[in-house]
Structure 1
Amino acid sequence: MEIAFTKGQGTGNDFVLFADPDGEIELDADQLAGLADRRFGVGGDGVIRAVRSSRLPEGAAALAEDPGAVWFMDYHNADGSPAEMCGNGIRVFGAFLLAEGLLSLEVGESIPIGTRGGVRDLTRTVDGFEVDLGPFVVAGEAMVAARRLAVDRPGLAVGVGNPHVVVALADDAELDALDLSDAPVVEPAPPAGANVEFVVPSDPLIADGVGRIRMRVHERGSGETLSCGTGAAAAALATRSWAGEGAPDAWSVQVPGGELGVRVADTPEGPHVLLSGPAELVYDGVLEL
């Protein structure tokens, strides 16, 4: 079987994307991991299938939530395991739908996208996309151990459609010294695992009304990545919580692959967190499986 694919990236978080509008291509975990393999496959932090929500079981919930969610982002981690959401991936997914002629979207316009974490509204911007990640939860603590972290540190649990644990570090040197080649150990262990973000606030923390932080991340099922969109949102939300009253709603998050914007906005449903950043399609190809 041949797969026509596109390689895309958002702030260095890279993905293998392919179009399967009618849900005719069923790849198992090993085949998905093979696509994401950087030595024997295309290589990426995850694999994204563009499929109509009406053509797969998970899409039924998306259509029930919003009948306009025609397209479903079928996302899998690099190890082939399914994931609820990917903040960088959904922006690259939007760019892919446009390039494939599966979607028409002008700057400023929005479209609902189905995901396993629920429907997410994606807006085209001048220099990329902004995704409304929806309501969020900042609650719960855990202890986190990581290689080259001198002592275990407390982490704050944050939910943005997928689970995160955010750890504050003292300075850039401590952040740079981390070895995230192995997954950090979280105690108590989250039932479905979690992405773990390590954060250092800038000095000053707030400039021109915008909070500024640096972040590195270990993503469950993928390892350390150059960027994690939902992780950036979680890191900003955790830092905002630690900063307390008067903390800004707008944040700039520096990741190894670039810069992401995070903002908290009031909606009729309550506060939502939104993520913005670039999305680039790198090349197309065909791979025989």
Structure 2
Amino acid sequence: MTDSAPATTANHPAGPSFGALAGLRFAKGHGTGNDFVLVADPDGARDLTAADVAHLCDRHRGIGGDGLIRAVRSRHVPEAAALLAANPAAEWFMDYRNGDGSVSEMCGNGVRVFVHFLIGQGLAVLAEGEALTIGTRGGVKVVARTADGYRVDMGPWDFISPEQARARGTDALVDAAGLDVARPALSVSMGNPHTVVALADRAELDGTNLSVAPVVTPVPTYGTNVEFAVPAEPLVTDDVGHISMRVHERGVGETLSCGTGACAAAVATRFWAGADAPDTWSVTVPGGVVGVRFFPGPDGREHVELSGPAVIVADGVLA
């Protein structure tokens, strides 16, 4: 865990081009290299447009990030009303936007960084072992503080096309630059959509060009994030499964990590491995390593837990 760096001021080369956003306080954080601009807006007074978000996330003319997270109390978010009514403990809502400004349901790395940001801003208090309930567009997430980061109950997983998945093991084809032919894939919902491709070895993983968006057929209704996973050899060591992964996130491009993507990759690999596959997984991404664990949820469904670090690297004020 890393404390915030001293405050800085973000200046755009062309002068005060942030316009109405001038004076806005922000922080920059990441979870295994998946990075975010974070803004505290407890009372929901800040209306950030898609253009604002894209500008802030621009790596050349803004702060830079894979996405933006606005911290707002759930009672000030109309779309969170039903969620808050059913879960009164969900005081805070994670308003997550992709780097292009589009709205997204959830981000597993982002929710860890979000909670770390709340603590650093004095908006929440969380001792090691304690948990905080967070509202997201992907449902309520319970985040617990650990000795070296946070673990998140990501909720239940599901196949996007359950009948096809269970009958054939795949439900889509993925074309990606650098791969010789389209590869079979499996689409998984973690509250947001993912399509997982198994590759043969590290050379294939390294040779896949994710600067170009993969083409998924058929594509899920709201688009999809695409994960390319390679199983370790051996796959299981000391009852822990091991995979390496790269990801192309919708609305962003390739990122150094994706928390929900790591969960989806573990879901798919575990399914393909069969009944004896373990419940605990280590997922290596370009930005580090995250843990994934499957466990029986309180709703009678199988849940997925994601664990990993969260870091705030800087805070500042827009000029």
Q: TM over 0.5: same fold?
A: yes
1:272 alignment partner, one of 284, 303, 306: 303
Task: Output the aligned Cα RMSD.
Answer: 0.8
Aligned residue for 1:105? 126
Structure 2 counterpart SS, 1:64: helix
The CA deviation at 1:190 is 1.3
User: Is 2:169 the counterpart of 1:171?
Assistant: no
Tell me the TM-score normalized by structure 2. Answer: 0.89
The CA deviation at 1:2 is 1.9
Aligned residue for 1:67? 88
Bigger Rg, which one: 2
Structure 2 counterpart SS, 1:88: helix
Aligned residue for 2:276? 246
134-143 or 232-241, larger mean C-alpha shift? 134-143
Aligned residue for 2:25? 4
The CA deviation at 1:64 is 2.1
Higher RCO (Cα < 8 Å, 6 or more apart): 2
Whole-angstrom distance in 2 between the partners of 1:43 and 1:133: 26
Aligned residue for 1:85? 106
1:13 alignment partner, one of 26, 29, 34: 34
**Runs in 1 of length 4+ with deviation above 6 angstroms?**
none
Aligned residue for 1:234? 264
The CA deviation at 1:62 is 2.1
Tell me the TM-score normalized by structure 1. Answer: 0.98
Tell me how many residue pairs correspond in the alignment. Answer: 288
Structure 2 counterpart SS, 1:103: coil
Aligned residue for 1:216? 246
1:37 and 1:78 in contact (8 A); partners too:
yes
Matches within 5 A, 1:182-193: 182-193=212-223
1:65 and 1:119 in contact (8 A); partners too:
no
Whole-angstrom distance in 1 between the partners of 2:85 and 2:183: 41
Whole-angstrom distance in 1 between the partners of 2:79 and 2:66: 22
2:62 alignment partner, one of 41, 46, 49: 41
Aligned residue for 1:23? 44
Structure 2 counterpart SS, 1:111: strand
Structure 2 counterpart SS, 1:119: strand
Whole-angstrom distance in 2 between the partners of 1:285 and 1:177: 38
Whole-angstrom distance in 1 between the partners of 2:137 and 2:59: 26
131-140 or 102-111, larger mean C-alpha shift? 131-140
User: Is 2:172 the counterpart of 1:142?
Assistant: yes
Long gaps (5+) in structure 1:
none
Structure 2 counterpart SS, 1:232: helix
Aligned residues with identical type, % of pairs: 61
Whole-angstrom distance in 2 between the partners of 1:195 and 1:128: 25
Name the amino acid aligned to 2:248: H
After superposition, the C-alpha distances for 1:215-246 in whole angstroms (9 at most, x for unaligned) are 00000001000000000000001000000111
1:131 and 1:276 in contact (8 A); partners too:
yes
